[in-house]
Structure 1
Amino acid sequence: MNKLKSIRWFALLFLIMTGCSTGKGNTLDPDQEIVKGEVVTAYVTTATRSSEFVPKEISFSDRVDNMSPFTITLVSGKKYQTMDGFGTAITGSSAFNLLKMSSSDRNAFLKRTFSESDGMGQSYVRIAIGCSDFSLSEYTCCDQKGIEHFALQEEELKYIIPVLKEILAINPQLKIMGTPWTPPTWMKVNNLKDLKPFESWTSGQLNPAYYQDYATYFVKWIKAMEEHGIPIYSVTPQNEPLNRGNSASMYMGWEEQNAFIKNALGPKFKQEGINTKIYLYDHNYDYDNHKEETKDQMQYPLHIYADAQTATFVAGAAYHNYGGDKSELLTIHNANPDKELIFTETSIGEWNDGRNFEKRLIEDMEEVALGTVNNWCKAVIVWNLMLDSEKGPFRPGGCNSCFGAVDIDKATYKTIICNSHYFIIGHLSSVVKPGAVRIGTSGYTDKELVYSAFRNADNSYAFIVLNKSSMPKKINLYDGEKSFVHEVPAKAVVSYRWLTNK
């Protein structure tokens, strides 16, 4: 079966196996005549769901047209960041739901999601080090006092690791990030002045007396996961360090994080020969500046970068978008252009009309997918891959109103609703591959069009465009050698990929 025909089979199987609504007028015939010669592969999703990641082939123009008023020219000589990948979080809840599916249904869904040849090619996942608010219980990997008691727990061994192994079998190049929501409670204190024990999953601070033990905790976790065949590409020291209120959480201001990395985590990684990347912060654009205690936390990463010793240990900073504006990414990049940026969490839920697909597709594509990438993020990861139809399982005190990138019917664990986040990540990961470089564009602009261009390592080009308008918009894409015209449907996202001879 040739590549283009396999794309049609993929689209048909994608719609059947995932259970995503097919909309109207999208019955695909995998034996339909294929256009011969070089073509552009495109994927189309409309806000009305009339098309859901539907593939099509677009022929290049017979005559190169770079003079059309609608021409967007790709400028490969203008280079920005190199991409690491795109994906979702494999929380304990997501793994639990996935393992409730039949093995054949789960394998089909994971292939649709992670396969480079037969699916969307998601390439980066985030997991918790210990529990999160989407875990089956509250725990860490060392709840008995003494770092010698470290051990992976049931959630890792029974749920997370088996799912990750299935995904790695599908996509061996998958990158995995680990993040703790809380350290073992015996490492916590009420504050850094009184240093009284704080035996609570929620809030508290890390006792400086346990910096070395906590760094060893990270090392032991990375090595334990690797022993199970799970390589850890990156970590952050603390999820949402300025958020005391999550069901599992800990406050860690920039001065604390700086001290922990400089005096313990960084040197311990170096001593143990661990090359896992360390990213700072992992919280909102606005640094929770509506809270009095976080007023001095503005531009958190920049304070740590200013310490030359700590800066040698960190790759960059990670951000969420539950507060503030994505323009903060550009501010941080411009202040330290040698440091990386990644986007590690956002969710849809009842608070942001998560079931309003039209609204969420448009806003999330603009703010999360293209907005972060166009402001120097080299990875984009959204929250839970899969929740059930009752928004869970979730921990009391955590989010009880979140939806997953997909939601599965709890009654049968068969029918799946694909939400906006599944498609915005898919539109990136399907055409922009790890190692791709974001490149410049020139020419036609329209306030209703948001787009980004890339050149992959295999010399293919990728272009993703969002049309926010209620009217279709014609574009002519020109790569300096070839051109093609396509009408982007109203309120739609289209991803394109094509080979170049240059």
Structure 2
Amino acid sequence: MKKLIIFFLTIAFSATGQSKKKILPQPFSTKGKIVTVYTSADSTNLRLSKTADLPFRELKQPLETQTCIFVNPNKTFQTFIGIGGAITDASAEVFAKLSPEKQQEFLEAYFSKEKGIAYTLLRTNMNSCDFSSDSYTYVAEGDKELKTFDIKHDKQFKIPLIKKALGIIGSKATFYISPWSPPAFMKDNKSMLQGGKLLPEYYQSWANYYVKYINALQKEGIPVWGLTVQNEPMAKQTWESCIYSATEERDFLKNYLGPTLKRAGMGDKKITVWDHNRDLLLQRANTVLEDPEAAKYVWGIGFHWYESWSGGEQMYENVGKVNELYPSKKLMFTEGCVEKFDAQKYQLWKNGQRYGKSMINDFNNGTVAWTDWNILLDQNGGPNHVKNFCFAPIHADTNTGELIYTPSYYFIGHFSKFIEKGAKRVSSAASRSQLLTTSFRNETGKMVTVVMNQSNQTINYYLCIGTAATEVAIQPNAIQTLVY
């Protein structure tokens, strides 16, 4: 009898173990596959243009003289969430000035899978930022209890545009909020501008503010996926800004913001810390995430690309180091743009290349989501109430009513149009430094490989998967997306 019981228990445990086994994706095969190539190239008319359909052939051993992109679709890494940009006051105000026809063109250009580049990720500012026409908050001066809280300001321009975008994106949308500054009365410098710090006596009131804003948006039918604690917490700016040291952000999160969101039934909102440049990324991650009470509230670490203000290079490797140290936390690019607007440089190809290089490196270092800055600005690089004018991928000339598509729009599109939410990054490497590459496998099984040519020469390269390959030509300073 005892042996019989043991036998049945063994069968039961075996069945339970089998039921919990993950269903592994089918190994990728090149058999019967055609590689469709989409290209954008400098000094040509190619803009996300289909340029080739190529078959795979056998290539058992590449030679040293052959340039190759090696992809292993069966070695997977992070899961992709999305690519998108910020709907700021400036973007929404410019959008409102467009004709209905141009508004529709704009919406499709960004958010349509068929007619555009399929953005799914959106960020917006809580309270004003530099890309607002003026400074504002949602409460009356001195209202610590937030009894006057009202988002009427946002209902004029921002909320209508956010709703239109979400209406096209649908269920794949990921929307998050970021504050630039608390109201002036909550800060030690009594100003929303020029840095300053949140006064300790307002920590709880400010934490309540996030809850009020999220609730107000959700009452408007806008689902809020997550939030960042503070935009650029180490920068004293001429515009809206607020300084938090690493320990101050950690303590505000673990003692106030995290518990307040949880009590409000918002424990599922994804909280991202840092939201600043790659240079101090490790220090912020170490300080916040080494504290278990703070870390339990953290979904991920956000970063920007402006560390080159000091004259140095982009510090992509810092993203990889954080990923290595804290693999359970997500990495999200939360802001980047080309600074110092100049209308003579609308079509400057290097501006687009900056996006391509950053996106490839950030994804290869573990980034799960990538957010551009303003989705739309006017012919002056604004509006911006402190004259901090910048580029956007699309500009609108409010005098003529025309939309201007810059190279940045097409470079971003080489990723966002083809890589889908839920995709897994897979192993991808180039045999020559002139080429940069990253690859993803969509849940449908489709492979997407992005290749960027940093050189001034046309390069013939082989896309190699195991012992199969196809030869591709990439123009000078071009970017390609290969779908297969």
The residue correspondences of 1:15-164 to structure 2 (distance < 5 A) are 39-61=34-56, 63-68=57-62, 69-144=66-141, 145=143, 146-154=145-153, 156-164=154-162
Q: Partner of 2:350 in structure 1?
A: 359
CA displacement 1:72-115 (0-9 Å, x = unmatched): 33212322211111111111111111121112221122112111
CA distance in 1, matches of 2:408, 2:245: 30
Q: Partner of 2:418 in structure 1?
A: 431
> Which residue of 167, 186, 190 corresponds with 1:169?
167
CA displacement 1:43-71 (0-9 Å, x = unmatched): 2111224312212441323x444544444
CA distance in 2, matches of 1:166, 1:358: 30
Q: Which amino acid aligns with 2:123?
A: R
CA distance in 2, matches of 1:161, 1:378: 26
Is 1:419 the equivalent of 2:415? no
CA displacement 1:409-434 (0-9 Å, x = unmatched): 120222x2222331222111011111
CA distance in 2, matches of 1:41, 1:108: 26
RMSD: 2.1
- The answer (yes or no) to whether the contact 1:143–1:184 under 8 Å persists in 2 is no
Identity %: 28
User: Would you say how many aligned residue pairs link Structure 1 and Structure 2?
Assistant: 439
CA distance in 1, matches of 2:351, 2:42: 9
CA distance in 1, matches of 2:302, 2:341: 23
CA distance in 1, matches of 2:288, 2:115: 42
> Which residue of 274, 284, 306 corresponds with 1:300?
284
- The answer (yes or no) to whether the contact 1:66–1:478 under 8 Å persists in 2 is no
Q: Which amino acid aligns with 1:176?
A: F
Q: Partner of 1:6 in structure 2?
A: none
Q: Partner of 1:410 in structure 2?
A: 398
CA distance in 2, matches of 1:437, 1:184: 41
Is 1:329 the equivalent of 2:319? yes
- Relative to structure 1, is the Cα distance of residues 301 and 246 closer, same or farther in structure 2, using a 3 angstrom cutoff? farther
- The answer (yes or no) to whether the contact 1:329–1:376 under 8 Å persists in 2 is yes
CA distance in 1, matches of 2:466, 2:54: 16
Q: Which amino acid aligns with 1:421?
A: S
Q: Partner of 2:278 in structure 1?
A: 285
- Relative to structure 1, is the Cα distance of residues 113 and 41 closer, same or farther in structure 2, using a 3 angstrom cutoff? farther
- The answer (yes or no) to whether the contact 2:333–2:367 under 8 Å persists in 1 is yes
Q: Partner of 1:372 in structure 2?
A: 362
Q: Which amino acid aligns with 1:267?
A: P
Q: Which amino acid aligns with 1:410?
A: T
The CA deviation at 1:381 is: 1.1
CA displacement 1:130-184 (0-9 Å, x = unmatched): 1110012211122431312211132x10111111111112111221121001011
CA distance in 1, matches of 2:372, 2:319: 17
CA distance in 2, matches of 1:200, 1:102: 34
> Which residue of 392, 396, 399 corresponds with 2:388?
399
Q: Which amino acid aligns with 1:115?
A: S
CA displacement 1:271-326 (0-9 Å, x = unmatched): 22211111101111223xxxxxxxxx971121010110110000111111111522
The residue correspondences of 1:180-191 to structure 2 (distance < 5 A) are 180-190=179-189
- Relative to structure 1, is the Cα distance of residues 104 and 355 closer, same or farther in structure 2, using a 3 angstrom cutoff? closer
> Which residue of 206, 219, 222 corresponds with 1:214?
206
* Structure 2: unaligned runs, 5 residues or longer: 1-31, 309-314
- The answer (yes or no) to whether the contact 1:188–1:205 under 8 Å persists in 2 is yes
Q: Which runs of 4+ in 1 moved over 6 A?
A: none
Q: Which amino acid aligns with 2:283?
A: Q
Q: Partner of 1:240 in structure 2?
A: 232
CA distance in 2, matches of 1:350, 1:49: 26
Q: Partner of 1:28 in structure 2?
A: none
Q: For 1:447, what is the secondary structure of its paired residue? A: coil
- The answer (yes or no) to whether the contact 1:299–1:332 under 8 Å persists in 2 is no
- The answer (yes or no) to whether the contact 1:369–1:424 under 8 Å persists in 2 is no
CA distance in 2, matches of 1:316, 1:49: 40
The CA deviation at 1:484 is: 3.0
- Relative to structure 1, is the Cα distance of residues 179 and 134 closer, same or farther in structure 2, using a 3 angstrom cutoff? same
Q: Which amino acid aligns with 1:344?
A: T
CA distance in 1, matches of 2:364, 2:67: 21
Q: For 2:307, what is the secondary structure of its paired residue? A: coil
- Relative to structure 1, is the Cα distance of residues 74 and 201 closer, same or farther in structure 2, using a 3 angstrom cutoff? same
> Which residue of 258, 279, 287 corresponds with 1:266?
258
TM-score by length of 1: 0.83
- The answer (yes or no) to whether the contact 2:250–2:294 under 8 Å persists in 1 is yes
